[in-house]
Structure 1
């Protein structure tokens, strides 16, 4: 029964992840282009702000530009959310036994960090491909990837399979810290909200929460996580860029990114694209948790009938 419950968590997470990517992908493209543009790269267009970026990409590249990297984004998001909820639920069950309500913030933090680390190893190649497809534009001087398979084949042929793990260390830090902060905030706010609403309703049933509550919980927990971890996203994106024409990566490692960004752009450089990121991920997180919690409710009702 425990394994079945874990797969229900994975399924709910995967469905939720897919639903959010399809709606918010253009903002993801904009965010990635802002993140890597340090003002010194000639083959990347410059945008004034998020609305200008969307308008410019739509005008010069069409819908294809706004949805560049959509396939790996869908695959990566669905797999990431599915695996994250799967590993997260397993970790919580291992820490708590059958008394999940007694988990401490430290337990939630450890469970989310554990899940995030495992997800990073499985999904990093997908994010490398997504980043590179999103950065392709009419100014590119090298042959563009025609799609996911061509990107995978070209990367492994020209750079070796290790290139698929470019940015793995900031990715690990990001997954562990971002997931840990978001899920700890989510769980703790959820407890407070359940207690508050249960006290008013004179019941201890978690079903007192509704979709509006999950919207608030998903959005607020995401804002907290983004503000703390966004610089790591910038570092990862810059590492995952396609190498220059001579085959040499623009940045050697995470320390090189930090040094160059701080030198030429200051603190502001580590928060490039954060507006698009907030616009994309805060409502996306809200939708994800609403879908996730409601899918779980469906599973619970089905199990009770059985």
Structure 2
């Protein structure tokens, strides 16, 4: 539904898994599944991954980080330990396990440097030779004689490097690279570089770590940048998971409120230590994101920092437009789900509807016609005299008509709400909600009236047959009733039907929307309502709507049921209202009112809950929803192997290693 729940295929899979109690697959199972899905080469009956297959298998299917072809080729050389240009299932499983292990980035770097010989044989000379030949030509050469590197290299000069030593050397090399690049841009040692130079420096040293939007904003955010600013920015880009954790906690604790620099600092100080995130780093974060002094940032604004593949969503003033074909496909999709949901809701409460109809048709002032004392008495007598099938008399035409009726009602409500929604805020004014509901109620009468008149006449036939009422019409089938009434007869009482359905929907849909938002807090902190909450909201919204339009429903029933001998006949809405008031009193207008509440309330609750549940479990992306760049889907959504792959790509990028 427009502006409401946005569903995705991953959400549908999660729902199905929950129902089937499936466990999360292990990394080994994921590796086997990926291999089976992508392996296209076959040698002697055994399947293998080609270079292209391997790239497709490990490439992330989300936007949390990117994998270029050059880096994929490097990783292929690590996985292809047999040097045959093909990856077997065993090779891929081992590589996948390597990615999922601790410090995968250093282990993979060791294999790259040692040409897959393993870290036990790796020397400092191997590392120097590898970096001198495999680094990007645009990168400044490392100074292995620097003060920072010399003590580390001296210890390991005459023996193989341990994995821990390699990791520490890499960390220092990253800092050295920043120093060298900064020195190249500030040859006179003035202490600062321009914003354009900062963008160039970051573009060379950390382009793989930040989004294009953030990179382009650097000259504006930092007209002049010191080396301390450069170090702080690089440190921030190395600990995005830490920043994401602070932002997520603040967003959850202060729903709807922006995040200020003091609030961020306070939250960071409670959860972290100075060593993990410093005051200068916090200042750099807010400056890089373009926050004015003292201004607050929305949690979504941090996406440009947290997601290297960040792309800004389409402006609200330029909504995504669907093609005519996609508009038709979306309408058919909504119509089909509305039809199924409507049939479920109608079947669920049909016995109550039958009792309601018989109570409304009972003329209490006509001698001998008082068949039922109340709704409960009616229910018991139907069950006793006509059996359980009697409670479902007329269900078939109800189902035939309720599908298009409920579908057009739900679809029209969605359509009008989408048209009156404020394009900037996404809010719908109250008058717009009422208009959408009234339009939905009026549009359904095309299907409602013929359905109602056939259903009602079938519902009262059972009592006629069992009671032997004199002057009653002979029992008919649904087809016989349609033939008897003809086209115009099927729309008898249409005015009363409009008088009932328009205000009903005008009350129901706004109340339903506000109950979801105000009572169950839908959308707050990204909350999505459960089926029980949807059902409860739908049921509560139906209570006032159903009871308040009961007088119109009584008049409609009297107009549509064939009068028996001795009963009053009505020529229209006003005539019916006058005669009912004169013969039976004002209370007659609310006959079956409680039955309507017990029928309409759960029916619409079940229908809408089914409709939204079907939307969530059978989602179709029509391309009209803006991308949701949610900072909360950062590292928490990565599998161990994906996290290892991301770290590996970062280290390779930090060292400017190219194919």
TM tier relative to shorter chain: 0.7 to 0.9
The aligned runs of 1:35-114 (5 Å cut-off) are 35-41=360-366, 44=369, 46-96=371-421, 101-114=426-439
Q: Do residues 239 (structure 1) and 559 (structure 2) align?
A: yes
**1:210-240 CA deviation, whole Å, 9 max, x = no partner?**
1121122101110020122111111110110
Q: Do residues 22 (structure 1) and 347 (structure 2) align?
A: yes
The aligned runs of 1:110-149 (5 Å cut-off) are 110-136=435-461, 137-138=464-465, 139-140=468-469, 141-149=471-479
User: Given that residues 73 and 130 in structure 1 are in contact (C-alpha distance below 8 angstroms), is that contact kept between their aligned partners in structure 2?
Assistant: yes
**Which residue does 1:164 correspond to in 2?**
490
- Aligned to 2:490, the other structure's residue is in SS state helix
User: Given that residues 421 and 429 in structure 2 are in contact (C-alpha distance below 8 angstroms), is that contact kept between their aligned partners in structure 1?
Assistant: no
Change (3 A) 1:264 1:26: same
User: Given that residues 547 and 597 in structure 2 are in contact (C-alpha distance below 8 angstroms), is that contact kept between their aligned partners in structure 1?
Assistant: no
The aligned runs of 1:175-190 (5 Å cut-off) are 175-190=501-516
Shifted more, 78-87 versus 3-12: the winner is: 3-12
- Aligned to 1:171, the other structure's residue is in SS state helix
- Aligned to 2:549, the other structure's residue is in SS state helix
- Aligned to 1:132, the other structure's residue is in SS state helix
- Aligned to 1:208, the other structure's residue is in SS state coil
Change (3 A) 1:59 1:99: farther
Structure 2 CA distance, aligned partners of 1:62 and 1:230? 28
**Which residue does 1:153 correspond to in 2?**
483
Structure 2 CA distance, aligned partners of 1:126 and 1:142? 21
Structure 2 CA distance, aligned partners of 1:144 and 1:12? 38
> Where does the alignment leave 5 or more consecutive residues of structure 1 unmatched?
none
The aligned runs of 1:260-299 (5 Å cut-off) are 260-299=579-618
The count of aligned residue pairs is 293
Change (3 A) 1:135 1:36: same
**Which residue does 1:226 correspond to in 2?**
546
User: Given that residues 516 and 522 in structure 2 are in contact (C-alpha distance below 8 angstroms), is that contact kept between their aligned partners in structure 1?
Assistant: no
**1:145-187 CA deviation, whole Å, 9 max, x = no partner?**
432111101222xxxx322111111111211110110001111
- Aligned to 2:351, the other structure's residue is in SS state helix
Structure 2 CA distance, aligned partners of 1:51 and 1:220? 22
Larger RCO, structure (CA 8 Å, separation 6 or more): 1
Greater helix proportion: 1
Structure 2 CA distance, aligned partners of 1:274 and 1:58? 21
TM-score, scaled to structure 2: 0.42
Structure 2 CA distance, aligned partners of 1:86 and 1:235? 28
Offset of residue 191 of structure 1: 2.4
Offset of residue 100 of structure 1: 8.6
Change (3 A) 1:80 1:107: same
Root mean square deviation of aligned Cα: 2.5
> Where does the alignment leave 5 or more consecutive residues of structure 2 unmatched?
1-325, 624-659
The aligned runs of 1:209-220 (5 Å cut-off) are 209-220=529-540
**Which residue does 1:174 correspond to in 2?**
500
Q: 1:251 aligns with which of 565, 570, 573?
A: 570
**1:26-68 CA deviation, whole Å, 9 max, x = no partner?**
2111100111112145685521222211111122222343222
User: Given that residues 335 and 408 in structure 2 are in contact (C-alpha distance below 8 angstroms), is that contact kept between their aligned partners in structure 1?
Assistant: yes
Structure 2 CA distance, aligned partners of 1:190 and 1:197? 6
